[in-house]
Structure 1
Amino acid sequence: MPKKIIKRMMPDHNKIKNHKHLSIFGELLHNPNLWHLNRRSVAKAFAVGLFFAFVPVPFQMILAAGIAIIVHANLPLSIALVWITNPLTMPAIFYFCYLVGTLILGVPEQEFAFEASWQWVLDSLSTIGPAFFLGCAVLSVLFSIIGYFGIQALWRHSVVKEWGKRKLRNINSVEK
């Protein structure tokens, strides 16, 4: 069942409540509904977390936490899913976003070499920026929708499967 798997992987809620960057949310973090695991809160968390995983801004966790609080999504899961884009995966994911953007805009891919400087970032905004940002926007919405409906379907499937097992156990126990 997805609930059992997700529960094992979730970070400790006290650690999140005491996180220095999330202190801006104050008492809002103490809402017990943000910590429950149910089909709706988990599906919303996947939507929020996957959306912000593809948004190329610093402090994605804070943005995801803010939206999770507003839409009553599971807060730890929303924050954890943002880490799909981490220092190891970010180059490949954001390059893929750029490729998707060039495909949508119908522009040729441009050769570029990343440099860790503000000047390179500012220069790139006019060259590769439009394709990159469009790709990020499209993929963030796409994966958010896929995550939401995928979890809804997976959760429903697992509940129906458990009902079937329970029904079979009840039939077998009556026959004995």
Structure 2
Amino acid sequence: MPPFLARHLPTREQLARNRFLRWLEPFLHHTHLWVWSRHGVALGVSIGIFFGLLIPIAQIPFSVGAAVVLRANVPAAAASTLVTNPVTFAPVYYAAYRVGARLTGAEVEAAPDLPVPLEADTDSRSLWQRLSDVGAPLITGLALFACIGGLGMYLLISLIWALVEHLRERRQRRA
């Protein structure tokens, strides 16, 4: 693993100390969860991207749990959930809303009808109704982004990893 990457990834001990991941501690000692292999890393990143895009909270516990079950690389799964962070959250969710609105046939607005403070509320629709108007297209778009992003990253990482291995072997044969 490259040293610049190792500095930013969580260790076994850090994950075991996390209060949301304590239940996984008996499983975190398996070495196959920490090996940097093509399949393990590609699967770990795709799991992290999937949960990072699909759910807004508790992304790391879900991705680590799925990585343990699927025997993927745990640090890659945990780190790749950061695809949605404070900088990318709004653009990703807005794009997911727009795509989901197109797929569900909902009316695409320039800006979704977000709730406003009660004193400024002049709309007769309830807060729940306005949130549900945004919810179905948003969930549809996020599910689509999560599936395509996870699968796409798995394929991309596998392809790049195989290409790098091929070039390394080719270079060694020449030497």
Q: State the TM-score, normalizing by the size of structure 1.
A: 0.84
C-alpha distance in 2 between matches for 1:94 and 1:57? 10
Mean Cα deviation higher: 65-74 or 105-114? 105-114
C-alpha distance in 2 between matches for 1:91 and 1:69? 30
1:11-68 Cα shifts (integer Å, max 9, x gaps):
3332222222211213111111111110010011011001001113421111111100
Match of 2:171 among 128, 144, 165: 165
Instruction: Decide whether aligned partners of structure 1 residues 29 and 124 sit closer, same or farther in structure 2, where only a CA change above 3 A counts.
Output: farther
C-alpha distance in 1 between matches for 2:170 and 2:6? 23
Contact 2:16 2:24 in 1 (8 A): no
C-alpha distance in 2 between matches for 1:115 and 1:78? 36
Which residue number corresponds to residue 98 of structure 2? 99
Contact 1:97 1:135 in 2 (8 A): yes
Counterpart amino acid of 2:166? V
**RMSD (Å) for aligned C-alpha atoms:** 2.2
Q: State the TM-score, normalizing by the size of structure 2.
A: 0.84
Which residue number corresponds to residue 60 of structure 1? 59
Which residue number corresponds to residue 76 of structure 1? 75
Percentage identity across paired residues of the two chains:
22
Contact 1:48 1:64 in 2 (8 A): yes
Match of 1:151 among 138, 152, 157: 157
Q: Secondary structure at the match of 1:21?
A: coil
Which residue number corresponds to residue 24 of structure 2? 25
Q: Secondary structure at the match of 1:28?
A: coil
Instruction: Decide whether aligned partners of structure 1 residues 87 and 116 sit closer, same or farther in structure 2, where only a CA change above 3 A counts.
Output: farther
Which residue number corresponds to residue 128 of structure 1? 134
Shift of 1:146: 0.3
Instruction: Decide whether aligned partners of structure 1 residues 155 and 92 sit closer, same or farther in structure 2, where only a CA change above 3 A counts.
Output: same
Shift of 1:115: 5.8
Instruction: Decide whether aligned partners of structure 1 residues 78 and 127 sit closer, same or farther in structure 2, where only a CA change above 3 A counts.
Output: same
Contact 2:115 2:131 in 1 (8 A): no
1:71-95 Cα shifts (integer Å, max 9, x gaps):
0011111011111111222111111
Which residue number corresponds to residue 123 of structure 2? none
Instruction: Decide whether aligned partners of structure 1 residues 143 and 158 sit closer, same or farther in structure 2, where only a CA change above 3 A counts.
Output: same
Shift of 1:9: 4.5
